[in-house]
Every structure is written in structure tokens, then in C-alpha cells.
């Protein structure tokens, strides 16, 4: 196997109540990457389409994640890898753009090396890409990108990722307003301390959300999608957030919140008809603004990074 083409999925981190710990993987939004073995040692970014990103390996999220993987190999390689990146997910969108690149690179190289590493180890390598993109090695986007479905990052050091079940017929409607919010900036505005009252409400919701996924309980899922800690601060950075949330729920969504560090907003719905109603409602709100935007509807991707071809 010398070459692999993959789909590197977008992801929703936090899922309202689970700041920095919960995430889920999307299906219809993502990048493509081609990675091939070459005789020149090391990691070389040979092509980037769709976005203006650095070609220097040490400055590129995919490059850094890939380097961290090959540096961890017991036996040093006498060949290298070339990476082509076809970006569809805009950096600073809140749907895991850097995570897709990092997760895609390490997944693909692991396949070409006949899988020496576990998924958990791949998350660790991909976290190194997140370190340069977000300022800290957050795993809540790279974990669902690699494992698929819903994930809970139980612990950072040592890394523990718990795979959670997904619900059939659960759809996400995502609006991506075309404004960039850097993760580091949207973290900087968060309070350093939270009240005990809010913390209690928040962890009760994380627990009930996990239970809802295990018991396929859409009502409980809906009743768990609240964020008392982060959303009140970050929502101010996102035009029309309150209106989008209120009207999505009115249109039948189970819940609505900020995707990752924003500006994207996600709504969960049961069934495609509701998800489309929600998309229509959000479109009506945003078309009255002067902000460009994209709206997507996606199933939950339970597979994570997908192989398009392997040769």
C-alpha cells in the first residue's frame, strides 16, 4: 500500500454541556486528503487546496500530527510521506477544521504502515496538531474524528476516551456564518472560575446526556442540551445566536448550541424532516443579515475518518 485517499470529517465539540470533553463526528462535511509513501524521509506537504495554510511541516497541523506519529515509531523509517490536503472546512469555523487535518493525517499514515498504533494513540498524535492550532492539545474534536460517533474525553493525562453510542435518526443542522473566531480568542473570554450552582447544573446535564445516548432517549437528550457556563459568554460573539436557538427549537429541534468555539451553531433533530425545517428557519434568519453563511445537514458519522481509496 503506497497511497491512501481519505475523508477527514468535521466534528462538533462540547455539545452544549460538555465543554472540552464531549464531541461527535459529522458525515457530510469534511476535507479530503491524499497521503503517499515517498523515498524522501520525513513529512512533506505537497499540495493544499481550498485554504491558504502553511506548507512548512512544523507549522502545518497535519504535518505536526504526522511528525509526532513517525517520531514515536520504534523502528525509524527509511522512507517518508507526502500529504495533499483538500480543505472544505474553513479554519476558525468551530466544526473542527484543524482536528480534521490532524486526525486525517495520522489515520492515513497509520493505515499505510499497516496500523501499528491504536485509535487512542492516534488521538494523542493528532492532539499535537491541535496544540499548534488552538494553543492547547484539546482532544474533544480529534477524538470523535478518529473514533466516530460520540466521544467523551474522560481524562487528558493519561488520555482516556470513552466511546458513546449514537442515536439512529439523529441529525445535526449546522450553520457556519462566515466570520472567523479563533479558538484561542474564544477561550480567552471565558471566566477562570464558575459558580458551584452552575457547575452542578452542568455536570448533571453531562450525565443525563450520556444516559440519553445509552438509552436512545430523545427527550432526555433534548433536556440535557444546555450550557450554563460557556454559552452565555461566547454567544455574544455570534450574530443572531439567540434568535437562531429560539427559532430552531420552535421548528422542532431537540436543542441548539455553539459548535466548538464557534461561530458555527449546531441544532440536533430527530429525523430529516425536522432537520430540514430547522435549516429553513435558520436560513430565513441569516439571509436578513449581511453575513455570508453555509448551512449543512448531517447524520452522525459513527465511523470517523473514512477511506476513499487505498492502493
Mark the segment that binds ligand HSE (CB under 6 A) among 49-57, 74-82, 134-142, 197-205. Answer: 134-142
CB of 274 to ligand HSE, least distance (A): 26
Cβ-in-10-Å burial (0-12, 13-18, 19+) of 82 comes to middle
State the Cα–Cα distance between residues 28 and 7, nearest whole angstrom.
10
Q: Which of 11, 32, 128, 130 is catalytic?
A: 130
**To the nearest whole angstrom, how small is the minimum distance from the Cβ of residue 140 to ligand HSE?**
5
Contacts of 149 (CB under 8 A, 6+ apart): 24, 25, 163, 164, 165, 166, 300, 301, 302, 304
- From candidates 27, 140, 227, 231, binder to ligand HSE by CB under 6 A: 140
User: Who contacts 132 (Cβ-Cβ below 8 Å, separation ≥6)?
Assistant: 59, 61, 64
Q: Which of 183, 231, 240, 281 is catalytic?
A: 183
User: Among the candidate windows 68-76, 133-141, 148-156, 167-175, which touches ligand HSE by CB under 6 A?
Assistant: 133-141
240 a catalytic residue: no
Which residues on neighbouring strands pair with residue 45, listed in sequence order? 83
- Contact status: 265 vs ligand HSE (CB under 6 A): no
Using rule CB under 6 A, residue 93 touches ligand HSE: no
Q: Would you count residue 13 as binding ligand HSE (CB under 6 A)?
A: yes
Cα R_g (the chain), whole angstroms: 19
State the Cα–Cα distance between residues 146 and 43, nearest whole angstrom: 20
Catalytic site residue 183? yes
Name which position in 8, 9, 12, 14 contacts ligand HSE (CB under 6 A): 14
Residue 17's SS3 state is coil
183/202 with CB nearer ligand HSE: 183
State the residues that interact with ligand HSE by CB under 6 A: 13-14, 19-20, 134, 138, 140-141, 183, 187, 260-261
Amino acid at each position: 500500500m503506497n497511497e491512501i485517499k481519505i475523508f477527514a470529517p468535521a466534528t462538533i465539540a462540547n455539545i452544549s454541556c460538555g465543554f472540552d470533553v464531549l464531541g461527535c463526528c459529522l458525515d457530510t462535511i469534511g476535507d479530503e486528503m491524499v497521503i503517499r509513501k515517498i523515498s524522501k524521509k520525513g513529512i512533506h506537504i505537497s499540495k493544499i487546496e481550498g485554504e491558504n495554510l502553511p506548507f512548512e511541516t512544523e507549522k502545518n497541523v497535519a504535518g505536526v500530527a504526522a511528525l509526532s506519529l513517525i517520531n514515536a515509531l520504534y523502528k525509524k523509517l527509511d522512507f517518508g510521506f507526502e500529504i495533499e490536503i483538500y480543505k472544505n472546512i474553513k479554519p476558525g469555523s468551530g466544526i473542527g477544521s484543524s482536528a480534521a487535518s490532524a486526525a486525517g493525517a495520522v489515520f492515513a499514515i497509520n493505515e499505510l504502515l499497516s496500523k501499528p498504533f491504536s485509535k487512542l494513540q492516534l488521538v494523542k498524535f493528532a492532539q499535537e496538531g491541535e496544540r499548534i492550532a488552538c494553543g492547547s492539545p484539546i482532544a474533544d474534536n480529534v477524538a470523535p474524528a478518529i473514533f466516530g460517533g460520540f466521544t467523551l474525553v474522560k481524562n487528558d493525562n493519561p488520555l482516556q476516551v470513552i466511546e458513546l453510542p449514537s442515536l439512529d435518526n439523529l441529525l445535526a443542522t449546522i450553520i457556519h456564518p462566515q466570520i472567523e473566531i479563533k479558538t484561542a480568542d474564544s477561550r480567552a473570554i471565558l471566566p477562570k472560575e464558575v459558580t458551584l450552582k452552575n457547575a452542578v447544573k452542568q455536570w448533571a446535564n453531562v450525565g443525563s446526556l450520556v444516559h440519553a445516548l445509552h438509552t436512545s432517549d430523545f427527550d432526555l437528550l433534548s433536556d440535557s442540551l444546555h450550557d450554563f457556563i460557556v454559552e452565555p459568554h461566547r454567544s455574544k460573539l455570534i450574530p443572531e445566536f439567540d434568535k437562531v436557538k429560539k427559532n430552531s427549537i420552535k421548528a422542532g429541534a431537540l436543542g441548539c448550541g455553539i459548535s466548538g468555539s464557534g461561530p458555527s451553531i449546531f441544532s440536533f433533530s430527530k429525523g430529516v424532516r425536522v432537520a430540514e425545517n430547522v435549516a429553513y428557519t435558520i436560513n430565513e434568519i441569516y439571509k436578513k443579515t449581511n453575513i455570508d453563511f453555509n448551512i449543512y445537514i448531517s447524520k452522525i458519522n459513527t465511523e470517523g475518518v473514512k477511506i476513499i481509496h487505498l492502493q
